[in-house]
Amino acid sequence: MDDLVRQAMAKWPNVPDCFGWLGLDNRGQWHMRDDRVQALGPFQCGTQGAKGSVLRHEKLISFIDRNYEADGLGRWYFQNGPQRVYVELESTPFIFRLDEAFTPTAHTGQCSTVQSCLVDEWGRVYLHTPLGLGLVHTLDVGLVALAIEQGLWTAQDCVSKDLPSQFGYVISPQAQNEQA
């Protein structure tokens, strides 16, 4: 976490949390979701436009990536100064890309190691790493196949709807907050 963020948290400790305004898609892109977009439905609903606008500003993306973490309830957020901006996930807290050595790199730029490889009922591939669970970017599924063929990983079957409870993360902090 950035030092400036820590300082802002200390200076303004009681800023309310923000829900529904930021999403992470299956390609590792951040989406901004204003009131109009949120009125179209949940981030995960599939309705045209409900994901919002893809963020393109490199410095903002880098700031979000550096200050992205989970709370004790498994809700992922971006610490924006004194305010927690909870993230709506399309699938998992991380989206992984692979290099030629099969090293997973999260959408946040953090490299990790593979603890297990999972394949769901739709053929989507997930990696469980010390960072957490992440979906493998569709462009890198061929590299996963090579890693399995070379005996580096063994694919285990999973059911996508069970992954959040199995790996301790929340897909929609906004929905959870509205139920509370």
- Domain residue ranges of the chain, discontinuous segments joined by +: 3-91+169-179, 94-159
Phi-psi region of 130 (alpha: psi -120 to 50; beta: other; left: phi over 0): alpha
Q: What is the pLDDT of residue 22?
A: 98
Q: Which CATH number does the domain 3-91+169-179 belong to among 1.10.260, 3.40.50, 1.20.120, 3.10.540?
A: 3.10.540
Contact 120, 158 (CB under 8 A): yes
* Spatial CA neighbour of 146 closest among 173, 117, 108: 117
For residues 63 and 100, give the distance between their C-alpha atoms in angstroms, rounded to a whole number: 27
Show pLDDT as tens, one digit a residue, over the chain (180 residues).
677 766 766 666 677 899 999 999 999 999 999 999 999 999 999 999 999 999 999 999 999 999 999 999 999 999 998 899 999 999 999 999 999 999 999 999 999 999 999 999 999 999 999 999 999 999 999 999 999 999 999 999 999 999 999 999 999 999 988 887
pTM given for the model: 0.91
Kindly state the tokens that stand for 158: 């999973």
- Evaluated on CA atoms 163, 39, 46, 138, the torsion sign reads negative
Q: What is the pLDDT of residue 102?
A: 98
